[in-house]
């Protein structure tokens, strides 16, 4: 009979522990349920508070995207205009060089002739100082020491 009493005692202890575990689980489930509803309420309030700002933020983002699109179009137009102007200037420069090249050549020839004539006149009349410099050069050894 001693063993039956011990078995029953242990079964009672296990039953009480199981009952306490069940009660603790139900209490914890109730606490979790309440906390979950509190979190849902806070999220609802937060969503109500943030949604106007989010809508405003979306409008600002769309405006910024529109402005960026406009700036890209303007940039493309400016690049196209500059490319057109550069090619036009290149063509104008090519045309001007082709038309005025004989005139530039003739002016260069005239300038060379004038500079040659003006330098020749100055060199055709030896100055007194030039004769003295030449005599000093010869007196000092001439070209013998030059390698």
- Span 52-79, pLDDT tens digits: 888 899 999 999 999 999 999 999 999 9
Identify which of 100, 99, 78, 81 has the alpha carbon closest to the alpha carbon of residue 89: 81
Give residue 147's pLDDT: 47
| Alpha carbons 3 and 5: distance in angstroms, whole number | 5
- Span 87-142, pLDDT tens digits: 989 988 888 878 888 887 888 888 988 888 887 654 455 566 676 777 666 666 65
Exposure string for 102-117, b = 16+ CB within 10 A, e = fewer: eeeeeeeeeeeeeeee
Give residue 32's pLDDT: 96
- Span 8-52, pLDDT tens digits: 999 999 999 999 999 999 999 999 999 999 999 999 999 999 888
Break the chain into its structural domains and give their ranges: 2-139
Q: Within 13 Å, how many C-alpha atoms sit on residue 75's CB side?
A: 6
């Amino acid at each position: 009979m001693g063993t039956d009493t011990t078995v029953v005692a242990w079964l009672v202890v296990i039953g009480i522990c199981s009952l306490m575990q069940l009660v603790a689980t139900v209490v914890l489930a109730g606490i979790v349920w309440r906390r979950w509803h509190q979190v849902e309420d806070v999220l609802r309030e937060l969503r109500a508070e943030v949604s106007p700002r989010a809508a405003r933020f979306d409008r600002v983002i769309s405006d910024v995207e529109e402005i960026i699109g406009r700036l890209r179009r303007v940039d493309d137009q400016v690049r196209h205009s500059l490319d057109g102007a550069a090619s036009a200037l290149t063509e104008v420069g090519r045309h001007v060089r082709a038309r005025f090249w004989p005139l530039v050549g003739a002016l260069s020839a005239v300038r060379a002739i004038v500079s040659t004539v003006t330098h020749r006149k100055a060199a055709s009349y030896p100055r007194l100082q030039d004769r003295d410099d030449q005599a000093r050069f010869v007196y000092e050894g001439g070209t013998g020491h030059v390698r």
